[in-house]
Structure formats: C-alpha cells, structure tokens
Amino acid sequence: MTEQELLLTGIGGQGVQLCAQVLARGAVIEGKHVMLFGVYGGAMRGMNTDATLVVGDGPLLSPPLLSHTSSAIGMHDKFWRPLAPKLRDGALVLLNDDTFDAPVDPVRYRVLRVPATERATALGHALGGSMVMAGAYAAASGMIGIDALIAGMHESVPSYRTQHVEANERTLRDGFEWATSAAVST
C-alpha cells in the first residue's frame, strides 16, 4: 500500500483550504482513502491557514497530524517556518513563486516554483492561484488525474461561490498542464 502526505500552508484568503478540499475530494472520486485536517489561525484572512492531507490506496496508517511529510505546498512563506522541518529528504515542494520568497533547498527537495498567482490573473481569475497550485500538484505528484480533480472542485465549491466554477476549472487545467510541461522540460 502507498500513502502520500501533503502539508499546505499560506495566509488566510489564499485558498489553502479549498485547494486541500479539491485534492481530497478528487482522490475520493478516484476511489482512494483520504484524511483531511484543516487548521485556521486567529482570523480567516491575513493569519496562517494550514491543511494536512493523507491519501492512500488502502486503509490509512498515518494520522491527519503529520510529524513528517513527503510533499508540501507553500502558498506564502510567512508561516512556512514550522512546516519546513517536517519535510523528508526528497520531498516534492510546490511554492507559489509570486508570494514565496524564502529559500528552500533545491538539492534536498524536489522544488517546483509555480507562478500560480500570475497564471491565474492572466486567465482572468485573480483569486485562482490555489487552483493553479492544486492542478500543478496533481500533475507533479501523480496523486490524482485532472478529471477527478475537476469533479472534486465541483463538489467543493459552496453554493454562494458557483460563479467561480468555470474559472476554477480553467486554472486547474492550466496548473496541471504547466506542471506536466515543467516535468518534461526538467
């Protein structure tokens, strides 16, 4: 059995929790076992927001609070410090290149700097950086396919945000395609 662990961090309002939900629901749609745990700072926007996701092809052994992880998404570096020591050697690390300035060792980890905010904005969805990251992570990690990811997004978007579904789909596809070509070019 294989398990993949993912830690996500960023600032409230960047879509970290939605990103985690989309990945989790997409994995469930593909028939995988999933545990998701979201943590919010003292305020919804501007404070830290973290999520832990564990996905496996059978019953999960890892708890949803991880001391070590095989992958991470950093939407912003402001709250990265507590997460960094949890990365295993060789961990896949996706960083939002537009908002993440802290150095991350590209020798110790497989680092992919994704211009997520820039790409989402270019697609007319300035709030869609987390969807670009979800698509890029799905492609780079092989955790789930694009169709399940999009279906997971449809299930995750609340009814009062349905106006973003079409743009979310565009940005998910863009991130997936971007990471697929980035992997081919490296």
Q: What is the pLDDT of residue 40?
A: 78
Which token pair is 59? Answer: 């019953």
Q: What is the pLDDT of residue 2?
A: 87
pLDDT band per the 50, 70, 90 thresholds, residue 110: very high
| Annotation: CATH topology of 3-185 | Pyruvate-ferredoxin Oxidoreductase; domain 3 (3.40.920)
Percentage above 70 pLDDT, the chain: 93
Q: What is the pLDDT of residue 65?
A: 78
What does the DSSP assignment read for 113-171?
Answer: EE-HHHHHHHTT-TT-HHHHHHHHHHHHH-SS-HHHHHHHHHHHS-GGGGGGHHHHHHH
**Predicted confidence (pLDDT) at residue 66 exceeds the cutoff of 90:** no
Q: Enter the pTM of the model.
A: 0.93
Q: What is the pLDDT of residue 185?
A: 58
**Predicted confidence (pLDDT) at residue 92 exceeds the cutoff of 60:** yes
pLDDT band per the 50, 70, 90 thresholds, residue 85: very high
**Predicted confidence (pLDDT) at residue 138 exceeds the cutoff of 90:** yes
Q: What is the pLDDT of residue 48?
A: 87
pLDDT band per the 50, 70, 90 thresholds, residue 12: confident
Tell me the per-residue pLDDT of 93-107, one tens digit each, with 9 for 90 and over: 999 999 999 999 999
Sign of CA pseudo-dihedral 53, 55, 59, 61: negative
Domain ranges, ordered by start, for the chain: 3-185
Q: Name which of 9-13, 86-90, 130-134 the model is least confident about.
A: 9-13
